Amino acid sequence: MIEVRNLSFAFPDNVVFDDLSFILNDCPVTAFLGLNGEGKTTLIRLLLGLLKPDKGNILIDKHDIGGLNEKERAKLLSYVPQENDDSLLMSVSDFICMGGINRQSLFTGPDENERRIAKDILKELDALALYDRKMETLSHGQRRLIYLARAIFQDSRIMVLDEPVSSLDLVRQHAFLKHLRDYTQKNGRRVLMSIHDPSLAYEYADAFVFFRNHGSYDVLYRNDPSFKEKFSNDISILYENRIRPVYIDDGVFMSYGSEDPDR
């Protein structure tokens, strides 16, 4: 369970959260939905302890994350950041094994067993061919997968992803999110991600946190009896009635424009 209590945070010239509170029950996949600049990335960085809140606190499974050191936090949370070109000077295999650096001996680095685990993870992600490559030679889509592999290798209770699929093509977006869902089902781990496409979120997430005006206005679960109705309502609040969900079979299509009945 994630509990955000009276959280306030401001950058020098920008108040991001003022007294934000919400509770999120355990779900395999949770999606953070909100427009640009509503503080999704900031909240993720606060969750990870990369930023310190001005006021309030965040409890994850009853641990106040402000009171944990890096090691303890890394056991609780792993992180797949947005596109990052700053840590690419190593092989894919070494990069993945960095996810377990605190489990490894100080002097010898990852052992045979850990290398094998890294290989198995890549196999699951259909990316075994990348094992011996160097990070800097990979495409964006391939790098996303390797970041995912490292987070899986880290084996924390909750994986936090910041816009993991926004730079991928449509096929790779679905492949990535499927891998993510498979991972939660196989390992009983939880995933928390920010995502821009509500139809992708609808398809793959079990819980939704909606952000607007620097606050969260709803936490919605898929098993809610009137889920579709509430989801439609939340979407129209999110996009100020400019986007209307149209449900087709199991999916949802986001329609933009003047047909909006409320206009």
Partner 1 sequence: MKTSKKLFLTCCFLLVCLVVSLLSGRYELSLHDILSVLSGEASGTMNANIFYHVRLVRCAQVALSGMALAVSGYLYQSCFHNPLVSPDTLGVSGGASIGAIISILFFHDGFLLRQVLSFTGGILAVLFSLLLSGMIGTGKRSSLLLAGIITGALANSAVMAFKYLADPTTQLAVIDYWLMGSFSLINRRKLLSTAIIVVPVLFLTVLFRYRLKALLLDEEEAQTLGINVRRLYRICIALATLLTAASVSVSGIVSWIGLLAPHIVSLLFRSSFEETLLLSMPAGAAILLLSDTVARTLTGAELPVSIITSFIGAVVLFVFLSVKRRRNL
Least distance between partner 1 and beta carbon 105 (Å): 8
133-162 footprint of partner 1 as x/- string (CB under 8 A)? ---------------------x--------
Whole-angstrom distance, CA of residue 228 vs CA of residue 195: 19
CB nearer partner 1, residue 45 or residue 244: 45
Span near partner 1 by CB under 8 A; candidates 2-10, 32-40, 105-113, 227-235: 105-113
Nearest to 160 by CA among 61, 79, 46: 79
C-beta neighbour count of 106 within 10 angstroms: 6
Q: Does 70 sit near partner 1 (CB under 8 A)?
A: yes
Which of 3, 26, 66, 104 forms a contact with partner 1 (CB under 8 A)?
104
Cβ closer to partner 1: 29 or 74?
A: 74
Q: Which residues lie across from 194 on neighbouring strands? A: 32, 162
Closest CA to 194 of 217, 169, 172, 161: 161
Does the footprint of partner 1 cover residue 86 (CB under 8 A)?
A: yes
Amino acid at residue number 21: S
Handedness of CA 156, 157, 163, 169 (dihedral sign): positive
Beta-carbon contacts of residue 232 (< 8 Å; ≥ 6 apart): 244, 245
Residue among 103 and 222 whose Cβ is closer to partner 1: 103
Q: List interacting residues with partner 1 (CB under 8 A).
A: 45, 48-50, 69-71, 73-75, 77-79, 81, 84, 86-87, 89-91, 94, 98-99, 101-102, 104, 106-110, 154
